[in-house]
Structure formats: C-alpha cells, structure tokens
C-alpha cells in the first residue's frame, strides 16, 4: 500500500522535530497541520514555520501546493485546550 501524502508529511516532520502531537489533513495538494513540540519554545511564529518548511524542502515546490499550519509548544497547546 502506498503511503498517503498526509502520512508522509507527518513522518518527515516527526523525524526532524520531536513532536508531542502532530495532525495533518489535506486534499492531496493543500494541507493543514497542527504540530505541538517543545522545539518551538522561545521561537517566533515565523521561525517555527521556517523549521517545518525547511524539513519539507523541495516537496513544497512539487508535491505540496499549500500548507497551513498551527505550531504550538506543549504549554500553548494545553492552554488552548482549556
């Protein structure tokens, strides 16, 4: 069975960033990701997104047309959950 693009994106990110939680959904070319990692602590939003885009590299030019993401630290995620 072929790995879905969502699963591939999750695997690529999780290999480079230790994730407490990661969720990816999409339609094959447009994706949305929620990523929770201690690695985001002390980083601005743009730095967090650059980390993820850096991991996906050339796939952002070819396979992934668009990626929207929410990047949170575990503390931010916990606060958001209420």
* Antiparallel, parallel or unpaired: β 30-36 and 66-72: parallel
Instruction: Give the model confidence (pLDDT) of 43-65 as tens digits.
Output: 999 999 999 999 999 888 888 88
Nearest to 38 by CA among 53, 59, 17: 17
- Output the pLDDT for position 1: 61
Instruction: Give the model confidence (pLDDT) of 5-48 as tens digits.
Output: 999 999 999 999 999 999 999 998 899 999 999 999 999 999 99
Of 80 and 39, the structure prediction assigns the larger pLDDT to 39
pLDDT of 2 above 80: no
- Assign residue 23 a region (left: φ > 0; alpha: ψ between -120 and 50; beta: otherwise): beta
Tell me which fold the domain 5-76 belongs to: GMP Synthetase; Chain A, domain 3 (3.30.300)
């Amino acid at each position: 069975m072929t790995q879905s693009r969502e699963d591939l994106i999750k695997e690529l990110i999780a290999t480079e960033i230790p994730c407490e939680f990661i969720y990816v959904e999409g339609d094959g070319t447009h994706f949305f990701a929620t990523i929770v990692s201690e690695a985001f602590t002390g980083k601005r939003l743009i730095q967090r997104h650059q980390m993820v885009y850096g991991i996906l590299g050339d796939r952002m030019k070819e396979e992934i047309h668009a990626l929207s993401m929410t990047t949170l630290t575990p503390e931010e995620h916990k606060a958001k959950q209420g």
